[in-house]
Structure 1
Amino acid sequence: MSDPHYDREAEKYESPIPSREHILSFIQEKPRSKRQLFDLLALADEQKKAFERRLRAMVRDKQLSCNKSGVYRPFSNRGLLTGTVIANPKGFGFVALDKGGKDLRLTSQQMKLVFHGDKIRVRLLNKKLDAEIVEVLETVKTLVGRLHLDGKKPYVVVDDRRIKHNIEITELIDGCLDNQVVVVEMLSSPTIDSDAKGKISSIIGNYLDEGVEVDSAIYRHQIPAVFSEKALKESAQLPTKVIPKDKKNRIDITKLELITIDGEDSRDFDDAVYAEPTKNGWKLLVAIADVSHYVKEGSELDSESHERGNSVYFPHRVVPMLPEAISNGLCSLNPKVERLSMVCEMYIDPLGELLDYKFYSAVMLSHARLTYTQVNEMLEDKKSPLRMTFSNVTDNIDFLYGLYKTLRISRQKRGVMDFDRIESQILFDNKGKIKDIVASSRNDAHRLIEECMLMANQAAAKFLQKNNEDFLYRSHPKPTAEKVELTQKFLTAIGLTLEGGIEPESRNFAKVLKQAKGRDDENIIKTVVLRTMKQATYTPVNEGHFGLAFEDYAHFTSPIRRYPDLLVHRAIKRVLNTTSREPSGKMIEFGTHLSMTERRADDASRDVEQWLKCEYMRDKVGENFHGVISGVAGFGLFVELSEVYVEGLVSIRDLKDDYFIFDDVHHQLKGQRGGKIYRLGDMIKVKVASVNLDDRKIDFIPDFG
């Protein structure tokens, strides 16, 4: 069949190729591959490259679509799905569908057309859930990366391991220098043949300068970090202290010896505690900063705090949810000043069970600002000089400790999992550079405050559920049967048993952790159990809190730094003021957003911490360290150094003493010839081989010496 548009094509090109209409006529009969079209259209070798370009142009112009096998078919909008791109650092990706369900898969070739976070429309190709991109609906607006001016054209290497594209820069701004970290405003998406294009919108700073890594993470994770003028104006109009009219209809508890207990570096204090014994057990007051009195629903401050969702904590910097005038001033329970608060007053029996509770608005005064270290010293040493310094509140401290020991009984009875793992703490010098990375462990003062907050959070959920209010639970669903089965197999292999079948209770896991205490592999067992758990989320549906073994649980105790807590406070006030409202669909949307902002904050904090650790290790290449195998995969071993709490990878190709097979059940690599085993939790000596700051990767090699 001859091309009806041959004459038109011959006028345009010296060596004409088949017209688009002619190509479509063949493909409409039946989907065809490129090679099939070569044969059907009898193309000469010199025509093939131009023909391939035409096929790509027809895909671009939505006349054709092409799957990963290279088969072309007519473009169609029927049966298309929309979703968000989730990129994997290895190059491939997924599509999280807007309608929910299983993620679809994108090949590395398809990923060349999009960025992580893009909104796209795709076509499902097969039952394996492979998809092809049909249209980019919304692309990222800005990206962060390192500027390179050493070639013919300026370009930026994106500072996100999930994005493999370089950005061609079409426009610089004054002050641009090679190797700076910059923000790029995107102008066009990438194609199969060309890089994305963008222009420099701002300069963050010079690579390796103090604070640049945090600013980069803020941009990279799209964390709102600057308050609008309107929000700042609203906060500036608030009083700087409690004024008389705000005390009306509030209970005065300023005489109670309430205290705050926080970290040494804390600046915002949103909870204060007081305890005393009763005939039937204990009375506990948890007084929380009344943020809802000042941040009104529908205000600009409210809108911006909702958008942020939570404060974001970096190793030596905080991006607050609320302006400093509120978070560190008016709503911070600073010592010796009156503050408005929402109080949860609880009565607890000698076995740590919650007997009764009530909520009320109050005026309070913190009688002492204490740190965890100070309180722990006072608990351990009855003759500590600190007891004299804080003699006005020592009775309260002792009562709180007595209550804590009671609450621990209840905790054990419920079967709460004990995940007290050793965490790392980064110490900085006065220039903002890492001085050391040390172990950071919790003491009884941390646990005391935690137990008080858990009781108040539980009471808040019970109170609002009882009154059918509109709020968000803090939900932690049961782990999946698949993960439970894998964990059971691992524990069986090391001589432990997880009881409870495919639906074990929290107490079954707690029993395993108790049996693990004192073992050499205790921390690893905790890691495996932790990885079995699902992620906690915010939802208006009460699914209980599996990890804490609570049937009802919400976040009430930190409204300065968490928006869900602010929602809970407003709901409590509606009940107290008899203006309750029925649950609405609005909370579903809120829960989704606030769960996302929490993950976003965690990812950003972890990102910066990993970068700082890599920077710290840069001058230690070639040095030997002892470590423990913290993860096992088919491609190698993750090792956490015992001395500095930094994790890196030993590639399987560097385990040269044998050929190793990955055993996912036992979390180990086993040598086929010699039987050598590298198992999760084993000690290993390694040498630092390389450090890649851009990828935030540290590579080790085994030290067989």
Structure 2
Amino acid sequence: MKQTEGTVQGIYQATGRGFGFLIPEEGEDYFIPPRCDGGAWNGDRVAVLPDRTEAARGERRTGRVVEVLERANRVVTGVLQKHNRELWLQPDQERLPGPIQVLGKSRLARAGDKAAVAMTSFGSAKHPPLGALRRVFGPAASREAAVEAILYNYEIDPAFPDAVRAAAQAAPEQVGPGEREGRLDLRDKLIFTIDGASAKDLDDAVSLEQDEQGRWVLGVHIADVSHYVPAASPLDLEAWERGTSVYFADRVVPMLPPELSNGICSLNPRVDRLTLSCLMTLTAEGELVGHTIAKSVIRTVERMTYDDCNALLAGEEAALTQRYGAILPTLRDMAALAAVLEKRRRLRGSLDLDSSESAIRCDETGAPVEVQVRRPGVSEKLIESFMLSANECVAAHLKALDKPCVYRVHEKPSLDKTEKLKSMLAPLGYTLGAADQFSLQKLLAQAQGKPEAAAVSSLVLRSLMKARYDTEDLGHFGLAARDYCHFTSPIRRYPDLMVHRILTALLDGTLRGASEKKLAAAAARAAVQSSQREIAAQNAEREIEKRYLAEFMQAHLGETFPAAVSGVTRFGLFVMLGSGVEGLVGVEALPGSGWHYDEQRMSLTSFDGSRVFSFGMPLEVVCTGAAPESGQIDFRLAGEAAPALPAQRTERREPSRPGRRDRNPRAMHVPKSRKGRKKR
């Protein structure tokens, strides 16, 4: 054990070019010069000894790694290579050192295959890193092998253990008479689901009526998954390990087996289902004046789709109007109430961020054939608004009673992130005072309808903190919510399941004494685990999506597209097409002989000063390459000659952006669904 007194701890971020950075929990980063990494790999938790306590003004703080505290890369995926009759693994992650010598032999392993090794030694100056062969996924050039390797790398298993499948198969297929006893019977109410057309795990339903005083009674009815997933059961332990369902292209790796998620826990139409209902009494102005949370039984009258609801509300489909005549008046009232609720959120400071997203459509073989940008319609916003209301109501309910809860927290931006946002807005002609909700709202409103609107929204999103789970109610900055939790998706998120378990104990009268302490401890563990698994799922989804998009772009080589600069690095410009496809215009494909990189202003300027490329700038680009095995897509500027030699991507990195940790805006603002699932 090395001496760690006077050191700073944090995560080591390698660059793949000899030097790296320490990302501490608080404060500025430290630059780690070449040969000062102490054998640390990208992502390792390390102790760094600063060169001096304070850096001079304008100078970067530096240090050297004196101890690796925790290794991050226990399993490494990559491509097998043969050298002197031995197999070596070249890691997929360019920030990892390699190659890794492979221990053990397999008749199935061949050079050129994608594979995974479990690290047995991280090497030294005299010895290479060593890894034991664990899995062979198939030819590295195939999308299927790339996807399997990514899932394996993030410990996401598409298959469930036998004990878990057996427990799921033992679940009932219908609600028994005894299970309805003691529950609020809402089966005679007009309750229906609204989801994507392909969704099978329908975990939320809605209702709306008026009480005798003319106030709205909004019902959000959520599948009572905890009734079928007892604490500490094989199903519960597996759900805890997974933390969340994982979605990409046309596939899902569910948190719970389909026998539950698509069966007894899914609020399918015209059958009895057990639920937890949050019944909120609202004034015409959307003010919450009362609420009831109850164990209930419902029977949804219809399984509505977003497209049908949007068409109904727009009056576009006479046939739909006739078919859903009994529902249409309620649907219109819901749309009006949702607009009132959304206005109230904006007035309190909720950020109206761009919630459009790319959707990949695949053919019957699983190959991507179309990429579209989906923007939420009225029905998507309606459901999102109602789910947000229920999440806030449940969080406030548990807090008022001083009971355990897994809150969804989103803290305000740090001073450092605020200053970086200001510097990056300047080239776009925008100024920002304080980074409070109303200042950011004003900024977004100023950019709305202008060519740079998407760039401004993107910069704001990337400068925000990462939402996470916590047992302390710290509020939700992006939603301007004082109290917030996740209650509405227990089929696909473990924190929601945990909140349901706490509510059930509260409603049953058992949430006291030792039972309450036990659930509080379980909530604390779930908050940490779920935050970690959410990040893993988001990273896996993003990496897999890149592979699908690269395969899709192989059919569009040589075509010209309008694009905008989405990131700037020393080695080129990341550009994004209108469809959401992102790729790189390398510096070797830019005109001129050299470029100056300004990290703070996110720009590349030619040495002669005649050309400047900056974040958000519109461009016309030509697709020159796409590699499904790596997810890399290459472009050049339209009207510019192609580079004489093929571009080398050995130092390709993510674009320089404000903050290095995951900034998935979808997780921050709990937006509406993609491909039939909700991400609130």
Does the Cα contact within 8 Å between 1:106 and 1:130 map onto a contact in 2?
A: yes
TM-superposition CA deviations, 1:111-158 (whole Å, max 9, x none) = 584544556677666544523354676574432222224753222222
CA contact (8 A) 2:116 2:135 kept: yes
- What letter matches 2:611 in structure 1? K
| Structure 1 CA distance for aligned equivalents of residues 143 and 168 of structure 2 | 30
**2:37 and 2:64 in contact (8 A); partners too:** no
Query: Equivalent residue for 1:561?
Result: 492
Query: For each residue in 1:370-398, what CA deviation from the matched residue of structure 2 results, as whole angstroms up to 9, or x when unmatched?
Result: 11111101111165311222334223322
The equivalent residue for 1:239 is 172
Tell me which of 146, 150, 174 is aligned to 1:217. 150
Alignment partner, residue 606 of structure 1: 542
**1:318/1:151 CA distance change after superposition, 3 Å:** farther
Greater mean alpha carbon deviation, residues 574-583 or residues 216-225:
574-583
Q: Indicate the residue corresponding to 1:534 in structure 2.
A: 465
Deviation of the 1:94 alpha carbon: 5.1
Superposition deviation, residue 348 in structure 1: 1.3
CA distance in 1: counterparts of 2:26 and 2:449, whole angstroms: 43
Aligned residue number for residue 452 of structure 2: 521
Instruction: Give yes or no for the alignment of 1:384 onto 2:318.
Output: yes
After superposition, residues 289-368 of structure 1 pair within 5 angstroms as 289-368=223-302
Q: What letter corresponds to residue 551 of structure 1 in structure 2? A: R
Aligned twin of 1:682: 617
Where 2:86 maps in the other structure, the secondary structure is coil
Q: Which amino acid aligns with 2:639?
A: F
Matching residue of 2:566: 630
Task: Work out which of the residue numbers 604, 607, 627 in structure 2 matches 1:669.
Answer: 604
**In structure 2, which of residues 337, 351, 371 is the aligned counterpart of residue 437 of structure 1?**
371
Q: Which amino acid aligns with 1:524?
A: A
For structure 1, the 5+ residue unaligned runs are: 1-61, 63-74
1:86-235 to 2 correspondences below 5 Å: 86-88=13-15, 90=17, 92-93=19-20, 106-107=32-33, 109=35, 113-118=39-44, 126-127=52-53, 128=61, 130-134=63-67, 140-149=73-82, 152-209=85-142, 211-235=144-168
* TM-score, normalised by the number of residues in structure 2: 0.85
Alignment of 1:704 onto 2:639: yes
* Counterpart position of 1:551: 482
Once superposed, what is the RMSD of the aligned Cα atoms? 2.9
Residues 350, 479 of structure 2: 8 Å contact kept: yes
Counterparts in 2 of 1:298 and 1:392: CA distance versus 1, 3 Å: same
Q: Which amino acid aligns with 1:178?
A: A
Q: Matches of 1:179 and 1:314 in 2, distance apart?
A: 25
In the TM superposition, what are the counterparts of 1:641-660 in structure 2 within 5 Å?
641-642=577-578, 644-657=579-592, 660=595
Partner of 1:258: 191
TM-score of the superposition, structure 1-length normalised?
A: 0.82
Residues 408 and 469, structure 2, Cα contact 8 Å, conserved in 1? yes
Counterpart residue identity of residue 679, structure 1: S
Deviation of 1:88 (Å): 4.2
| Bigger RCO of structures 1 and 2 (CA < 8 A, at least 6 apart) | 2
Return the letter of the residue paired with 1:449: I
User: For the structure 1 residues 167 and 635, does the alpha-carbon distance in structure 2 shift closer, same or farther, using more than 3 Å as the test?
Assistant: closer
TM-superposed CA distance for 1:462, in Å, is 0.6
CA-to-aligned-CA distance 1:456-510 (integer Å, 9 cap, x gap): 0000011000111111111111112232234345546545454xx43x4323212
* Larger mean Cα displacement after TM superposition, 567-576 or 458-467: 567-576
Distance 2:258 2:207 in 1: 27
Q: Aligned partners of 2:208 and 2:285: how far apart in 1?
A: 16
Q: Secondary structure at the match of 2:222?
A: strand
Distance 2:448 2:10 in 1: 45
Letter in structure 2 aligned against 1:564: P
Does structure 2 retain, via aligned residues, the 8 Å contact 1:421–1:523? no
Amino acid across the alignment from 1:180: D
Structure 1 CA distance for aligned equivalents of residues 510 and 208 of structure 2: 31
- Could you say what secondary structure the match of 2:481 adopts? coil
**Structure 1 residue 425: Cα displacement:** 1.5
Cα deviations across residues 499-552 of structure 1 (Å, max 9, x unaligned)? Answer: xx43x4323212222222211111111111112211111111222111111111
Which residue of structure 2 lines up, in the alignment, with residue 467 of structure 1?
A: 401
Q: Which residue of 2 aligns with 1:67?
A: none
Give the 3 Å change call, closer, same or farther, for CA 90–432 of structure 1 in structure 2.
farther
Q: CA 1:558/1:495 → structure 2, altered by over 3 Å: closer, same or farther?
A: same
Q: What SS does the corresponding residue of 1:406 show, helix, strand or coil?
A: helix
Q: What amino acid sits opposite 2:133 in the alignment?
A: I
CA pair 131-666 structure 1, distance change in 2 beyond 3 A: closer
**In the superposition, relative to structure 1, how do residues 493 and 111 fare at CA in structure 2: closer, same or farther (>3 Å)?**
closer
Residue 238 of structure 1, CA deviation: 2.2
Aligned pair in 2 of structure 1 residues 566, 505: CA closer, same or farther (>3 Å)? same
Residues 586, 86 of structure 1: CA spacing in aligned structure 2 closer, same or farther, 3 A cutoff? farther
Single out whichever of 425-434 and 466-475 deviates more from structure 2.
Answer: 425-434
- Superposition deviation, residue 665 in structure 1: 5.6
Maintained 8 Å contact 1:180/1:206:
yes
* Inter-partner Cα distance in structure 2 for 1:386 and 1:350: 28
Partner in structure 2 of residue 595 of structure 1 = 531
Instruction: Tell me if structure 1 keeps the 8 A contact 2:206–2:219.
Output: yes
8 Å contact from structure 1 (residues 614, 691) kept in 2: yes
Answer whether contact 2:37 2:65 (CA < 8 A) is retained. Answer: no
CA separation of 1:496/1:554 partners in 2, compared to 1, >3 Å: closer, same or farther? Answer: same
Instruction: Give the fraction of aligned pairs with identical amino acids, expressed as a percent.
Output: 31
| Structure 1 counterpart SS, 2:292 | strand
Cα distance, 1:436–1:87 mapped onto 2, change above 3 Å: same
Cα pair 1:181 1:216 within 8 Å, conserved: yes
Q: Distance in 1 between matches of 2:9 and 2:317?
A: 66
Which residue number corresponds to residue 512 of structure 1?
443
Cα gap change, 1:219/1:95 in structure 2, threshold over 3 Å: closer, same or farther?
Answer: farther
1:663 deviates by 4.7
Change (3 A) 1:112 1:691: farther
2:581 is matched by which residue type in structure 1? Answer: V
Secondary structure, counterpart of 1:601 in structure 2: helix
2:38 and 2:491 mapped to 1: Cα distance? 42
1:3 corresponds in structure 2 to none
- Displacement of 1:653 after TM fit? 4.6
Distance in 1 (CA, whole Å) between partners of 2:466 and 2:361 is: 29
Q: Which of 335, 344, 366 is residue 401 of structure 1 equivalent to? A: 335
> Against the structure 1 CA distance between its residues 83 and 589, is the aligned structure 2 distance closer, same or farther, given a 3 Å change threshold?
farther
Q: How many residues align?
A: 627
Q: 1:352, 1:408 within 8 Å by CA — same for their partners in 2?
A: no
Contact 2:141 2:629 in 1 (8 A): no
Q: What amino acid is the match of 1:683? A: P
Distance 1:380 1:439 in 2: 21
> How far apart are 1:662 and its partner, in Å?
4.1
Distance change (3 Å), C-alpha of 1:173 and 1:661: closer
Partner of 1:448: 382
Work out whether residues 124 and 130 of structure 1, in 8 Å CA contact, stay in contact via their aligned partners in 2: yes
Q: CA deviation at 1:364?
A: 0.7
Q: 1:114·1:190 contact (CA, 8 Å) conserved in 2? A: no
Q: Could you say what secondary structure the match of 1:417 adopts?
A: coil
1:10 alignment counterpart: none
